[in-house]
Copies of this chain bind each other. A is one copy, B any other.
């Protein structure tokens, strides 16, 4: 639940004068996303999403994100399209923060993931990867191995407050991943955060992908590994191989996976689980006083990490 910045009506009116969107009809802070302030903005021209980037997003990264959304929308991916102001620039300032208006996407994100959702995610992720192949800009993944080492160092002294032995388990996992992390898989633009709240459906059809603010250049198969973590576990911690099979099969129908990519999935999935374990652990240990956002449970991802560590081969993910 977000909305950190309260935009006054006069600030908003002044901001919109730079656009050709007509007058404001309404503007409501929406309770989604925890990184930025998001508003559902209606103007005489239509319905939009207004985002103010709060301090967790590096302003230097914003041109990459904006250009990526423009590129993907132009390639037919259903994703937010940045709206340019009269001067042709989409990235602007409001209330002292970088701000952007994007097109508003129809659909609902799935609160209860069903198997058909996983097939939709696989198809959409593969289309995203294919469309991203012609995107020229690069952005390194600052939440890969080096980033995990930084987060492990920042949380190590207090990790055992959350779970006895957690610091040692993270250190051992990092030692292993340093040795076995694959480095020459096909790379390109990855979403890197395609959780259920970042993909909308209308009925059984994907209607859009949102939140490209972790997107970066990395192994494409790592994006699948993140989705295996985000979509294929049940609330009781069990892994649903039917969902994984549908997800991977739908992906491969659009973009074939090489033998090296398939073989790497268990290690990539361990990395994906460690990434969310570490960021959640960091947030858990560093809750700002008076925060209005409840941090997510890091231990959920410790359990997922352990599952992937025990995977003998990729048939565990339903790969035929």
Contact of A31 among B1, B7, B105, B108 (CB under 8 A): B1
Report Cα–Cα, A7/B109, bound state, in Å. Answer: 11
A106 touches B294 (CB 8 A): no
Chain A residues 13-38 with CB under 8 Å of chain B are: 23-32
Q: Check: A76 CB closer than 8 A to any chain B CB.
A: no
B108 touches A27 (CB 8 A): yes
Report Cα–Cα, A3/B3, bound state, in Å. Answer: 12
B108 touches A12 (CB 8 A): yes
The distance from the CB of A200 to the nearest CB of chain B, in whole angstroms, is 7
Chain A residues 98-127 with CB under 8 Å of chain B are: 104-112
A25 touches B290 (CB 8 A): no
Q: Check: A296 CB closer than 8 A to any chain B CB.
A: no
The distance from the CB of A231 to the nearest CB of chain B, in whole angstroms, is 15
Q: Check: A178 CB closer than 8 A to any chain B CB.
A: no
Contact of A107 among B2, B26, B29, B112 (CB under 8 A): B26
Report Cα–Cα, A218/B123, bound state, in Å. Answer: 60
Report Cα–Cα, A100/B284, bound state, in Å. Answer: 36
The distance from the CB of A36 to the nearest CB of chain B, in whole angstroms, is 13
Q: Check: A202 CB closer than 8 A to any chain B CB.
A: yes
Q: Check: A9 CB closer than 8 A to any chain B CB.
A: yes
> Which B-chain residue is minimally distant from A3 (CB atoms)?
B31
Q: Check: A8 CB closer than 8 A to any chain B CB.
A: yes
Report Cα–Cα, A182/B161, bound state, in Å. Answer: 59
B25 touches A202 (CB 8 A): yes
Indicate how many identical chains form the complex: 2
The distance from the CB of A111 to the nearest CB of chain B, in whole angstroms, is 4
Chain A residues 192-232 with CB under 8 Å of chain B are: 200-203
A6 touches B111 (CB 8 A): yes
B1 touches A106 (CB 8 A): no
Contact of A30 among B31, B42, B109 (CB under 8 A): B31
B111 touches A9 (CB 8 A): yes
Q: Check: A87 CB closer than 8 A to any chain B CB.
A: no
Q: Check: A292 CB closer than 8 A to any chain B CB.
A: yes
Q: Check: A40 CB closer than 8 A to any chain B CB.
A: yes
> Which B-chain residue is minimally distant from A28 (CB atoms)?
B30
Q: Check: A320 CB closer than 8 A to any chain B CB.
A: no
The distance from the CB of A129 to the nearest CB of chain B, in whole angstroms, is 26
A112 touches B28 (CB 8 A): no
> Which B-chain residue is minimally distant from A8 (CB atoms)?
B111
The 6 closest A-B pairs by CB, nearest first: A8-B111, A29-B31, A3-B31, A9-B108, A28-B30, A25-B106
Cross-chain pairs A/B with CB under 8 angstroms, 8 sampled: A1-B1, A9-B108, A9-B112, A9-B201, A23-B203, A27-B108, A28-B30, A28-B40
Q: A1-B1, A28-B32, A292-B294 are in contact. List 15 more A-B contacts (CB 8 A).
A: A1-B31, A2-B31, A9-B108, A10-B112, A12-B108, A23-B202, A26-B104, A26-B106, A28-B28, A28-B30, A28-B40, A29-B31, A30-B30, A30-B31, A292-B292
